[in-house]
Amino acid sequence: MQSANQNIKPLTTKINEKGNLSIGGCDLAELAKKYSTPLYVIDKETLVSIAREYKNAFKSYAKFKPKFASKALMTSAIAKILADEGYGFDVVSGGEIYTVHNAGISLNNSTFNGNNKSREELNLAIDLGIGRISVDNFSELELLNEILEEKNKTQKILLRVTPGIECHTHEYIQTGHLDSKFGFDLTQIDNVIELITQKYKNLEIMGLHAHVGSQIFETKVWSDEVEVLIKEIKRIKDKFKIELEEINIGGGLGITYTKEDTPPSVQEVANVVLKSLEENIKKYNVKEPVLYIEPGRSMVGTSGVTLYTLGSSKQVPNGKKYIAVDGGMADNIRPSMYGAEYCAELVTKKDSETKQKVTIAGKFCESGDILIKEIELNNPQKGDILCVYNTGAYGYSMASNYNLMLKPMMVLVNNSQSAIIVNRQTYAQLVQNDIIAEI
Ligand code: LLP
């Protein structure tokens, strides 16, 4: 079966009776009119479908516990939908912790990750009963134990390790290679275990955590990763007589931004992970560990699109035709930051087919603010609505207020209904923290 991450468009994308594009049964031109643009649209059916697909793909493994990597897209409504589907959360900041909590969701099923967690963030996580803290480095071990001593509490932790696995993805989104800023090197683990058993008595070590990178298409990296983690569990067991019971293999499954992207399905990833798990449990003679995964992009990427209105255009003499939209690098930094490519199309039907090659520019004051370098659109005109696919992950979550532009609204669509899940920012909100100092 094809997974949602193997599609460019949300699963419910259709051409309706008017000839317009619709998602979740909602006409995109009407959504743009009703809510204005730029507008993030999330298709609930696609989101829930992939969330269930992950659970289904791993269902033969009783100790499977999925978490959603909040960094890809965290809003109260998204948190609620995924918590209702049985997901915990990979959270990496006080803000993500607060949002999950504020949505009425217990944090006991969530893991706090990150390479420089602050005292305030650790306090908040512990006070709200976070399930696991994935400790990243020696200074965090010390700080966390100190905080726990003050509170007279213990905390279940994982150790974030660098598995030494390279994957073919953008340099900025590779994390599992040896000189990564994240996690303990495997050669440091003995020292960590000694510290925990002899000195940091408030820490209860449950297992190992790794993440190899993002937008990955080769399943082999996960089978290698599982082996590295199980082998390490065996080594620790032999040396310290402590058998760790949990592994967290992170996220990383890629999605189909363009036809050139060929990610495996969720089931293919699950098969590879489960096979490697089974083989290595036997090979190293360890107990079946709890298996956590924490996908982000593949969970929310395909369910999201962004609607923009076409504005001014510029024909460079003997050169490109630029068409500018009413958003750009502040609502989607990925093209300018990673050279990411996206597919898009106009949402309304045109009477005639007159294809034009254009460059879609953002409206921000930077030449690099180009959303799509080259795309063929059907007779694009000022005022037309453009739908950019696959913006659900790392779009809104990386959005900024550059040029003091307002962050867009987000709506959820489902069964021909739409509902606002994030309001458009207001000018008053933009200046609410400003203070004119009298010094
Ligand atoms: N777990 C850990 C520890 C991670 O660092 C990440 C992503 C994930 C899970 C989720 O990975 P995913 O399934 O989304 O690939 N801003 C970049 C992506 C950065 C990913 C960082 N870590 C982008 O827009 O491509």
- Per-residue confidence in pLDDT tens, the chain, 439 aa: 689 999 999 999 999 999 999 999 999 999 999 999 999 999 999 999 999 999 999 999 999 999 999 999 999 999 999 999 999 999 999 999 999 999 999 999 999 999 999 999 999 999 999 999 999 999 999 999 999 999 999 999 999 999 988 766 655 555 666 778 999 999 999 999 999 999 999 999 999 999 999 999 999 999 999 999 999 999 999 999 999 999 999 999 999 999 999 999 999 999 999 999 999 999 999 999 999 999 999 999 999 999 999 999 999 999 999 999 999 999 999 999 999 999 999 999 888 889 999 999 999 999 999 999 999 999 999 999 999 999 999 999 999 999 999 999 999 999 999 999 999 999 999 999 999 999 9
Q: How far is the CA of 391 from the centre of ligand 1 (A)?
A: 14
Q: Rounded distance, CA 411 to CA 422, Å? A: 7
Q: How far is the CA of 397 from the centre of ligand 1 (A)?
A: 11
User: Alpha carbon 27 to chain centroid distance?
Assistant: 27
Find out whether 404 and 432 touch, Cβ atoms under 8 Å.
Answer: no
Find out whether 112 and 71 touch, Cβ atoms under 8 Å.
Answer: no
- β-strands 203-209, 246-248 pairing: parallel
* Residue ranges of E strands in 244-369: 246-248, 290-293, 304-315, 321-325, 344-346, 355-361
Query: CB of 69 closer than 6 A to ligand 1?
Result: yes
Question: Of all atoms in ligand 1, which is nearest to the CA of residue 254?
Answer: 15
Give the CA angle between residues 230, 233, 238 to the nearest 5°.
130
User: pTM of the full predicted structure?
Assistant: 0.96
Query: CB of 90 closer than 6 A to ligand 1?
Result: yes
Closest CA to 144 of 115, 121, 122, 112: 122
Question: Of all atoms in ligand 1, which is nearest to the CA of residue 250?
Answer: 1
Rounded to 5 degrees, what are φ and ψ at 178? -65, -30
DSSP one-letter code for 288: P
Ramachandran region, residue 271 (left: φ > 0; alpha: ψ -120 to 50; beta: rest):
alpha
| Structure confidence at residue 210 (pLDDT) | 97
Q: How many CA atoms lie within 13 A of 281 on its CB side?
A: 16
| Structure confidence at residue 169 (pLDDT) | 62
Question: Of all atoms in ligand 1, which is nearest to the CA of residue 215?
Answer: 15
Q: Rounded distance, CA 230 to CA 237, Å? A: 10
